[in-house]
Amino acid sequence: MPVESAEIRRVELFADLPEQECVALASIALRVRYAAGATLFLAGDPSPGLYVLLSGRVRLSRISPNGREQVIHIVTPGHHFNSVPVFDGGPCPVNASAQTDVTALLFPGERLHALILEHPAVALRLLADSCRYLRQLVDLVDDLALTTVQGRLARLLLTQAESGEQGFVQPLTQSEMAARLGTVREMVGRSLKTFEAMGLIRIERGVIVIVDRTGLERESERE
């Protein structure tokens, strides 16, 4: 089914673009779907183009030669990914996999490149979103270089937790936490036990509950 300009406008990234730009984007967009666990592309692959996520979550990561994974970003609906090859002509810089069932719009690279030459407003919108990603990458580098594993774990738990003084942390395995934090599963396990012994969290049948949010916030600030 062809993509309509109204569907482009419903995407947060393009919501306030003029109709002319939305029509142009719709004319080159392809709707793609992936099941949870599917690989969209791998680092080094030729780029299929730029993706804008409509539903689901996509995990962007790099894997070291010894198999250790570092999660770069979790893409949520309304945002784009894989823009770098559109502008520099190179291969995909990261691995992308579907964390859940995913629906996205794919804009083939060459056609999108030609489109933004005619519609600079689209380029400015993509640039603004790319700068947001760049800020997140700077924060990630800062965390990895300047913050302890326990500090990074405390921050992740707070980010994943429900609001309120006590909150259930959204489910993540220790392996997933390690990939997000740039460490190994064993270190995550030891840090969780430390937090539990300090009375900051409670682990019930594998579910993490934040008991002392203020104390965990202090741990998140430790260098």
What is the residue whose two structure tokens read 């916030």?
217
| pTM reported for the whole predicted model | 0.70
**Euclidean distance between CA atoms 107 and 104, whole angstroms:** 10
Distances from the Cα of 167 to the Cα of 63, 114, 157, 172, angstroms = 32, 48, 10, 14
- Residue 86, class by beta-carbon neighbours within 10 Å (0-12 exposed, 13-18 middle, 19+ buried)? buried
* pLDDT for the residue 146: 67
The amino acid occupying position 60 is: L
Residue 143 has pLDDT above 80, yes or no: no
What local confidence, expressed as pLDDT, does residue 165 receive?
A: 46
- Cα 17 from Cα 65, distance rounded (Å): 42
Mean local confidence (pLDDT), 129-157:
79
